[in-house]
Amino acid sequence: MVFFTVLSTRTIIGIVIGGAIIAIGSYALVTSFGLQTVNVDDTFQVGESTSYSFSAPKGSKHFLNITADSFEVFLRSPRGGLQIIDEQFKRELTVEWIHLQDGETKLKVNNTGASKLNISGYLTILTDPILITYHLLVIITGVVIIGFSAGFSVRKPRGF
C-alpha cells in the first residue's frame, strides 16, 4: 500500500494503460505464429470484383464456395496443386484444394451477373512476417507509455 501512495494518479493511469497495450500486443504476437485458418464470408455487388493472395505451406487445405448469377474466376495455385482456372461460371462454383508444395495462391473473382456475389469458405494461410514487427511495436509503445508515466512520480530536485 505504501508503494501506491508514492505514485501519482497520472503514473497509475499510465501503468494501467501501458499494461493493457502490452497485454494486447503480446496476445496478438503469440497468436500470429503458425498456420491461421481464415473464414471467408464476403458479399459483392453487381460489377464489383475482389482478389485474394496468400501464402500457404505444403499440405494446407482450402475450400471456397462462390455463388452468383454469373461470375469470372481466375485461380492460380503453386505447381503440383490446383491447375489454373480462368473461366466464366454461372450460379455456383465449389472449389477445394490442397497445396502440394509451399507457395502463393492468387484468386480473383469478378461479378458479371445481375445478382450479388457471395464467397464463403476457409483458407489456411501463413501470416506475413511483417506482422510480427507490428506486434513488437505495439508492445514497445506500452513500455514507453509506462516509462513516461513513471516520470510523473519522480521527486523534483530543489530549485525546480
pLDDT of residue 26: 92
What predicted TM-score, i.e. pTM, was given to this entire model? 0.65
Which helix (H) or strand (E) element contains residue 55?
strand 49-56
Q: What is the pLDDT at residue 156?
A: 64
pLDDT at 115: 86
Domain assignments of the chain as residue spans, ordered by start = 1-33+128-160, 35-126
For 152, how many CA atoms within 13 A lie in the half-sphere containing its CB?
A: 13
What are the residue ranges in the chain where pLDDT is below 70?
A: 1-6, 80-83, 155-160
* Predicted pLDDT of residue 127: 80
The per-residue pLDDT for range 53-81, each reduced to its tens digit, is 888 888 888 898 998 888 888 888 877 65
Topology of the domain covering 35-126: Jelly Rolls (2.60.120)
Report the alpha-carbon distance of residue 45 to residue 33 in Å, rounded.
34
Give counts: helices (H), strands (E), the chain.
Answer: 3, 6
